[in-house]
């Protein structure tokens, strides 16, 4: 862990250094009043950004005005990512110049040539490119907050060899990662829930992280909104890593446990059947499929392993159910345990990654920084006869927006 911290520290230091050098170089050509104002503003906002990071735990973010908080976080994130992009471009230019210098030195050229002029022009171009990329990042993350409630419905049809004939045409809707504590607009959330209901699902499945940390995030209005989710064959849910309250300090263990019990009770209050390492069997046309739901089971970044597949499977084998859907919040569970030990799981539904709420997500190309951590991070994956679908999340966490990766409502129809 120490070497990872040192690498991150080095990257941040280089990003700050190159950004400082670039901004100083750019403002030098400006008239005196503007030069001082812009450079001072850059330094001031850099200090403000670091202050927010250093004193993060001391700031009561929940009590800040929503718009001010959202803009601050979005701008700081865009500012930081912009500096990383500037660093990459400027380092590339430095490496190019170093290579050019080495070639010239070995050739014994000591006087300026046409190549030297070209090098200067290229350096100017690289500086301009770095500045543009930094600006695009800042603007992009700032405007991305407008996408936080822009729900995208993703529809697909899946076929399975062992799916009972009675479940042909069966439609399920998956949502995940609601993160109620991040919401600041009941009306917008209600509209998202209405979009879920418009899909005409036979069953609705929620794959964890109802809250950021505490059960009280789900106020009475949100309870009323979430209770609108109805389906002929029920609404089933499971827990995610944030639901356990592991990321806040509690006065006692009993307080933390009581919070979890309240949250579990809320699932019932809104009409959802919470699956805690257990299963249910659905019947249609005289045939059966099983929905298995486990608590959080993570195989990355020290996320907890509360899930217990052995317990969830108790009594299932005797019921002779040919098709199984697994609700497991963290997609790393698929490779960590499911593919190797539970080959009878036909479809696993997960969330957790949010697609990092940032990236490129098109029909032809899909990229997000989260893919360097998770092999399966958004969309459909298949291996052998088993499939995994990773929902991009209904809500948001940390960054109060979506840039390229929109919030998702998944509709899967069996054919």
Residue at a domain's end among 128, 145, 162: 145
Q: Which position has the higher pLDDT, 30 or 222? A: 222
Co-location of 268 and 337 in the same domain: yes
φ and ψ of 88, to 5 deg: -60, -45
- Six-digit token string for 338: 């499911």
- Six-digit token string for 365: 């190309």
The Cα 324–Cα 289 span in angstroms is: 6
The Cα 296–Cα 350 span in angstroms is: 10
Co-location of 31 and 172 in the same domain: no
Co-location of 210 and 122 in the same domain: no
Each residue's pLDDT tens digit, 357-414: 999 999 899 999 999 999 999 999 999 999 999 999 999 999 999 999 999 999 999 9
Each residue's pLDDT tens digit, 225-255: 999 999 999 999 999 999 999 999 999 999 9
Co-location of 183 and 318 in the same domain: yes
Residue at a domain's end among 145, 162, 193: 145
Strand partners, 413: 157, 171
Co-location of 168 and 100 in the same domain: no
Q: Which of 231, 389, 209, 225 is nearest to 304 (CA)?
A: 209
CA distances from 327 to 127, 194, 207, 238, 290 (A): 49, 23, 6, 7, 11
Co-location of 296 and 253 in the same domain: yes
Structural domain harbouring 258: 149-414
pTM, whole model, 2 decimals? 0.87
Co-location of 43 and 95 in the same domain: yes
Co-location of 200 and 117 in the same domain: no
Co-location of 126 and 159 in the same domain: no
Co-location of 103 and 162 in the same domain: no
State the Cα torsion 347-351-355-356 to the nearest 10°. Answer: -160
Number of domains in the chain: 2
Residue at a domain's end among 96, 118, 145: 145
Co-location of 283 and 395 in the same domain: yes
- Six-digit token string for 271: 């009409």
The Cα 368–Cα 362 span in angstroms is: 12
φ and ψ of 342, to 5 deg: -130, 70
Each residue's pLDDT tens digit, 300-356: 878 889 999 999 999 998 999 999 999 999 999 999 999 999 999 999 999 999 999
* pLDDT of residue 298 exceeding 70: yes
Residue 404 maps to which CATH number? 3.60.21.10
């Amino acid at each position: 862990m120490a070497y990872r911290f040192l690498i991150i520290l080095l990257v941040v230091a280089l990003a700050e250094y190159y950004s400082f050098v670039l901004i100083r170089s750019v403002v030098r050509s400006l008239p005196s009043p503007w030069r001082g104002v812009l450079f001072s503003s850059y330094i001031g906002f850099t200090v403000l950004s670091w202050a927010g990071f250093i004193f993060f735990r001391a700031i009561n973010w929940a009590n800040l005005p929503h718009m001010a908080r959202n803009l601050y976080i979005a701008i700081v994130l865009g500012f930081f990512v912009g500096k990383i992009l500037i660093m990459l471009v400027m380092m590339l230019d430095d490496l190019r110049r170093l290579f050019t210098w080495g070639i010239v030195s070995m050739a014994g050229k000591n006087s300026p040539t046409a190549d030297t002029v070209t090098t200067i022009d290229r350096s100017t171009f690289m500086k301009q490119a770095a500045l543009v990329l930094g600006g695009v990042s800042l603007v992009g993350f700032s405007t991305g907050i407008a996408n936080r409630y822009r729900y995208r419905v993703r529809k697909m049809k899946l076929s399975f060899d062992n799916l009972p004939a009675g479940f042909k045409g069966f439609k399920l809707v998956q949502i995940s990662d609601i993160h109620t504590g991040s919401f600041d607009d009941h009306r917008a959330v209600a509209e998202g829930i209405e979009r879920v209901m418009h899909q005409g699902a036979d069953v609705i499945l929620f794959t964890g992280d109802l809250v950021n940390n505490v059960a009280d995030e789900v106020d009475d209005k949100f309870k009323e909104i979430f209770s609108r989710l109805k389906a002929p064959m029920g609404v089933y849910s499971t827990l995610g890593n944030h639901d356990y309250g592991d990321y806040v300090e509690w006065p006692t263990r009993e307080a933390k446990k009581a919070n979890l019990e309240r949250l579990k009770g809320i699932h019932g209050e809104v009409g959802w059947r919470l699956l805690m390492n257990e299963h249910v069997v659905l019947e249609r046309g005289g045939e059966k499929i099983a929905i298995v739901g486990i608590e959080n089971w993570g195989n990355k970044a020290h996320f907890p392993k509360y899930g217990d597949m052995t317990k969830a499977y108790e009594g299932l084998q005797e019921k002779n159910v040919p098709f199984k859907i697994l609700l497991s919040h963290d997609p790393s569970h698929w490779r960590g345990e499911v593919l190797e030990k539970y080959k009878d799981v036909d479809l696993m539904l997960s969330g957790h990654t949010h697609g990092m709420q940032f990236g490129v997500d098109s029909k032809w190309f899909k990229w997000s920084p989260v893919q360097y951590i998770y092999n399966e991070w958004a969309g459909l994956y298949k291996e052998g006869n088993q499939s995994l679908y990773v929902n991009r999340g209904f809500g948001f966490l940390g960054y109060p927006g979506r840039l390229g990766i929109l919030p998702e409502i998944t509709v899967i129809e069996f054919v």
